[in-house]
Amino acid sequence: MQILRPITSNDFAAFKQIAIESGHGFTSLPVDDQLLQDKISRSERSFSKQLDKPFDEGYVFVLEDSETGEIMGTTAIEAAVGMQVPLYHYHMGKTVHHSRTLDVYNTVEILSMCNDYTGCSEICTLFLREPFRKGLAGRFLSRSRFVFMADHEARFSDTVIAEMRGVSDSQGNSPFWKWLQEHFFSIEFPQADHLVGLGDKVFISELMPKYPIYANLLSQDAQAVIGKVHEKTKPALKLLEKEGFEHRGYIDLFDAGPTVEAKLKNIRTVQRSVVAAVNITSDVSGKARAISNQGLANFRATFTDKCSYDSTTNTLNLEPCVAQALELSNGDLVRTFTL
């Protein structure tokens, strides 16, 4: 059985291995022991806090094989981004150059640096290790974040964003960054990406151009990747688009990957999930469903076909092994949805 739960200090070695496997461009998981340990400690503090509004909490989860204890993947939620360290984006807009006298009318795309998503919640750090990328695991890992947010909505913003990894090559070089580097910076993309992962973003405000950039002045290679995602990120983007996330013109400063957004209450999984009472019984089977115990520090979620939902009584019939894995007793409430 695959169990999603909060990360603990005992998961450090596996967490570091995931950071190594995630490769270039995965900014939220740089291979740095101190940073990874800090992420785990911050997550443990966040799960233990009593809160009525979001601030700067970060919730990290791991997906564990309950039989082997192997960590299969990870995902995370930032409660309110940009509150302590500024969150920068480029926003894609348009400007018009018009001369009635010359009968000239040109519309030009511009990129303006902004902090428009300050205070929004962010889903991030979704990574499923290569051997486990089959079946429903990826879909479950992505969608389970939303039921956690729905059950603890006071801890999160009304608006949820996701920054998607932009286009880069196998060495981690970004065509978009290459143009910026030539004109404004003198460091390579992997180094800049690493600094951002470490939380060192001072250089952005110091060196990034303050005025809007005319997109048509960028190289053809740089223009071609604006708002595009890395090949390995396409499945994750498709999942989010099915959930109702949309791209509204915001892109990453370094690789020009799109940031997508949705209102928490409008996310498909939130709308289609139900809260039901548990009935523990044997020999149950049905469609595969994701089930969470609605916990906080003791949050547990899994997916299984050893269950069946009765809409007339709003009851989820569940086999004992699943109930035990989720730390549930008869009559407990769970949130569940069909995968």
**Shortest CA distance to 265 belongs to which of 118, 137, 150, 107?**
150
Distances (CA, A) of 169 to 28, 130, 190, 316: 18, 19, 11, 47
Distances (CA, A) of 83 to 113, 117, 254: 17, 10, 21
**Cα 212 from Cα 234, distance rounded (Å):** 29
Residue 87 carries which side chain, given as an amino acid letter?
Answer: L
**Cα 50 from Cα 155, distance rounded (Å):** 9
- Pull the structure tokens for residue 234: 């396409």
| Catalytic option among 91, 97, 230, 247 | 230
CA dihedral sign of residues 22, 27, 28, 31: positive
Give the three-state DSSP class for 305: coil
- Pull the structure tokens for residue 185: 């910076």
End-to-end CA distance of the chain: 15
**Shortest CA distance to 37 belongs to which of 10, 72, 18, 57?**
10
Whether 230 is catalytic is yes
Residue 106 and residue 96 in contact, taking contact as beta carbons nearer than 8 Å:
yes
Catalytic (active-site) positions: 230
